[in-house]
Chains A and B, each alone.
Chain A
Amino acid sequence: MDVMNFYTDPEVIRSSVEKVKNAARTFKKQHQRLPVIMEVCGSHTMAFARSGIKTALKDDVKLIAGPGCPVCVTDQKAIDAMIGLAGKPDTILCTFGDMMRVPGSRRSLVDARTEGNDVRVVYSPVDSVTIAERNPEKEVVFLGIGFETTIPLLAMAVRKAEQLKLKNYSIWMTTKLVEPVLRTLLDSQEAEVDGFLLPGHVSVVSGEKSYHFLTGEYGLPGVITGFEPVQLLSGTYKLVRMLCEGKHAVVNDYRSVVGQGGNPVAQSMMNTYFTFSDEEWRGMGSIPASGLVLKEKYASFDAGKRFNVTVPPPRKTKCRCGDIIKGRIAPEECVLFGRGCTPVNPVGPCMVSTEGTCAAHYQYMREE
């Protein structure tokens, strides 16, 4: 699509950067400080770093990463439990690739596989159902980790397993929802932000109106934006302009795929299979109704109910992923960043996930 060429055109990117800087300077004149914007989504964090935009804007806009990397926000005990599942006899553990190198307190899934356990990376949760169909003598467990973008796909997997009447398939649910964590962050006042860049692909499912609470209850603006360089810049510009003008609206800058109400089929499928649950978040503790789990009716597909995994208390480290996902510190403020913790030897999930803030800073923003 030629649309893509526009969004990645170096000339357009350059003039878009200037546009954002000029707007940010107006804000600075008005407020004697930089505008502080949180990009909620981990894929935005990665895209900002990879494209060089975050570095280009660093003197004019304070962009802070938020709680939008599903692996990073999952608390250590839940990660250890998921890795613990790999040791079950006659079990095939299926996962998104992102989970493989995430450090558990004692080992990672890569270690578990090296030790001879059957751990497989799948592209889609539905693929794990096919694996269960082909291996009726084995238990097949999928690690169901993710936000609203991914949760409908977990519903699809359960639907398929149900249609195939599989008895050997289940999902270990540790899902997370965007609205409750944003509310928690704002209520705690831990991260001081002027506005939000809102996650484009979560919004495809949940819709523009799922963010109206930001303006209505917190008086903060937000812009739903895409992932290409010019889209990131256009979203940032609109947000900074709103801040300069003292406006607080939710602007949908990704209308080509995000509708007012989101995707109705995905929402109805989520309603069919799942119900709200309190979830533990890294560094934030339990947040009420901040995730979804399988309804009682579908308990046979719930790995958490079928398998008893007990894990010792997580090993304590100096990792500050908890503060990073709350937007309280930048990776460079962690004493381990680039020293004890690197992508080859990660200490926390933020350094290995493809959406992790530490990984983004290490790969694209490190100053030699």
Chain B
Amino acid sequence: MCIGVPAEVLEISGEEARVDVMGAGMTAGIVFVPEVKVGDFVLLHAGQAMAVIDRTYAEESIAEWRRVLNGRDEFLY
């Protein structure tokens, strides 16, 4: 029940948005993410966007993990 899926916001209208979930279009609630903009990725849970996915952080954490895999652990905590 606690699983979420990423979705791209295509269009916003009031408390709802058209989103793309892995190629499938659907409507999602955006009440919990008032800051959301078209083009953002959101985390959907049971039809509601619960968070705007911060792509900078996502990319940073990948870069960090690559460094760790290469034996450089100084970025851990």
Contact = CB atoms under 8 A, between A and B. Distances in A.
Chain A partners chain B: yes
Contacts of B38: none
Given A16-B69, A126-B29, A153 B1 contact: no
B33 interface: yes
A96 interface: yes
A258 B53 CA distance: 9
Contact of A201 (B34, B45, B58, B65): B45
Interface residues of A, number: 56
Contacts of A241: 73, 76
A253 B41 CA distance: 18
Contacts of B32: 152, 263, 265-266, 269
Contacts of A234: 61, 65, 68
A70 B60 CA distance: 32
Contacts, number: 126
A237 B4 contact: no
A208 B31 CA distance: 21
A269 B50 CA distance: 13
Contacts of B59: 3
Interface in A221-251: 227, 230, 234, 237-238, 241-242, 247, 249, 251
A236 to B, nearest CB: 12
A126 B47 contact: yes
Given A19-B69, A253-B61, A149 B77 contact: no
Given A12-B69, A204-B50, A263-B50, A4 B6 contact: yes
Contact of B1 (A150, A205, A251): A150
Nearest to B4: A201
Nearest to B48: A153
Interface in A59-90: 68, 70-71
Q: Give the secondary structure class of A's interface.
A: helix
Given A249-B77, A257-B43, A149 B1 contact: yes
Contacts of B57: 255-256
Residue picked from A124, A153, A257, most chain B C-beta under 10 Å: A257
A96 B76 contact: no
A201 B58 CA distance: 15
Contact of A265 (B4, B33, B47, B68): B33
A156 B29 contact: yes
B48 A43 contact: no
A202 B47 contact: no
Contacts of B43: 201, 204, 257
Nearest to A96: B1
Contact of A124 (B46, B65, B76): B46
Interface residues of B, number: 33
A145 to B, nearest CB: 8
Contacts of B31: 156, 265, 269
Contacts of A227: 3
Interface string B25-51: 000010111100000010101111011
Given A3-B62, A241-B76, A247-B77, A205 B48 contact: no
B2 interface: yes
26 contacts: A4-B6, A16-B65, A19-B69, A43-B1, A96-B1, A125-B46, A150-B45, A152-B48, A152-B50, A204-B43, A205-B50, A230-B65, A234-B68, A237-B68, A238-B76, A247-B77, A249-B77, A251-B76, A253-B61, A255-B54, A257-B4, A257-B50, A263-B32, A265-B32, A266-B32, A355-B2
Interface of B: 1-4, 6, 29, 31-34, 41, 43, 45-48, 50-51, 53-55, 57-62, 65, 68-69, 73, 76-77
Interface of A: 1, 3-4, 6, 12, 15-16, 19, 41-43, 68, 70-71, 96, 98, 123-127, 145-147, 149-150, 152-153, 156, 199, 201-202, 204-205, 227, 230, 234, 237-238, 241-242, 247, 249, 251, 253, 255-259, 263, 265-266, 269, 354-355
